[in-house]
Amino acid sequence: MRRAQLLSWVACLILLCGCVSDSRREAPQRDRAARQLLFEHLVADAMRLYAEGVAGPPAMATGYFHQARDRIADALDIQPVEARRATLRLWLGWISFRCLGEPEEAIRQYREALAQDPDAKRPRLELAAVYGHLSLRALRSGDVARSERFLESARGMYREMFERWPRDGAIRSDLGVLYLDHGLAQEAHGILKEAVDLDPDRAEAWANLGTACAILALGAEEEAAYRRAIRVSRTGVADAFFGLGRLYAERAEVSAAAYYLRGFLRRTARGRTDQVVLYAVRYLVEAGRGGEVPRMLMGDDERQ
């Protein structure tokens, strides 16, 4: 009897040890599952808050963006996978720069993303964009030396990308826009010609090439670039329609100018009141072609 009890106890201990061993093996799995669930919840909440900030009232947007950034930072703390961490850093940089106007914080996040994923293109593109923004801001404030430093940082980032992705026309197109923003039309013209050579179907690059040609008074090339932009774009690039409309207006070709300026107004964002829109409206009205302008600029409900 005593021997049977002893054997029974031994059997119980063996079973208990097996259960403890199984629970120890399962514990890390349960922890990983719980962390993954929390991570997914934080990311989903960040996406919701970001969407609220984009779509909601402007007065509340900053609060939503700050909350979204906090959720992403919390998700970053529990995410061990480097590639995912790099993506979260990109998102942090995007919100910091594009939504909260904090370029220095964005630079920090993009550099971290690049450190975690050294072969990634996106952090380099975003860094170049931030450097370009800081260069323009310094230029507008009159600090030319500071502007040049940031512009050179942006150029350096683009040079690095040219070496890594020599056949990517989009990168050259982005640099062309940066040059246009800085009033460097000659440099923009050269790099945008490279962009369209590499990617002949990139409508935005053709439209921007047309803008560079307009600044440089290259009339025939300007017209060809704008027409190519419209031809390769499914919906038509608004800037190309404006460029052709302005070009024909300067040539006193009223019908052609009106056609393209109307096309521009149909394709541009409603509610815009910048100088480009005002030019188009004024020309159409003065040319006696302004009857459709209200319908182009406003929806039916607004017009009523």
Q: Is 286 a domain residue?
A: yes
Q: Is 65 a domain residue?
A: no
- The average pLDDT across 39-44 equals 89
Q: Is 45 a domain residue?
A: no
Q: Is 288 a domain residue?
A: yes
pLDDT digits (tens, 9 = 90+) for 181-235: 999 999 999 999 999 999 999 999 999 999 999 999 999 999 999 999 999 997 7
Rounded CA-CA distance 151/174 in Å is: 13
How many structural domains is the chain composed of? 1
Token output for 140: 């507008």
Measured in whole angstroms, how far is the alpha carbon of residue 224 from the centre of its chain? Answer: 28
Question: Is the model's pLDDT at 298 over the cut of 60?
Answer: no
Token output for 164: 């890594």
Are 175 and 144 spatial neighbours (Cβ–Cβ below 8 Å)? no
Are 209 and 196 spatial neighbours (Cβ–Cβ below 8 Å)? yes
Question: Is the model's pLDDT at 79 over the cut of 90?
Answer: no
Q: Is 259 a domain residue?
A: yes
Pure H helices in the chain = 2-55, 58-77, 82-94, 103-116, 122-140, 144-164, 169-181, 185-198, 203-215, 219-232, 238-250, 254-267, 275-286, 293-297, 300-303
Rounded CA-CA distance 92/110 in Å is: 8
User: How confident is the model at residue 82, as a pLDDT?
Assistant: 80
**What's the alpha-carbon Rg for the chain, to the nearest Å?**
29
Which residue reads 């800037």 in tokens? 239
Q: Is 90 a domain residue?
A: no
Q: Is 218 a domain residue?
A: no
Token output for 81: 């996978």
Which DSSP state fits 142?
T
pTM of the model: 0.79
Compare 83 and 54 and report the one with higher pLDDT.
Answer: 54
Question: Is the model's pLDDT at 302 over the cut of 50?
Answer: no
Q: Is 113 a domain residue?
A: no
User: How confident is the model at residue 269, as a pLDDT?
Assistant: 58
**Domain interval for residue 284:** 245-304
Rounded CA-CA distance 124/118 in Å is: 10
Rounded CA-CA distance 157/151 in Å is: 10
Question: What own/partner pairs with CB < 8 Å and gap ≥ 24 does 250-254 have?
Answer: 254/287, 254/289
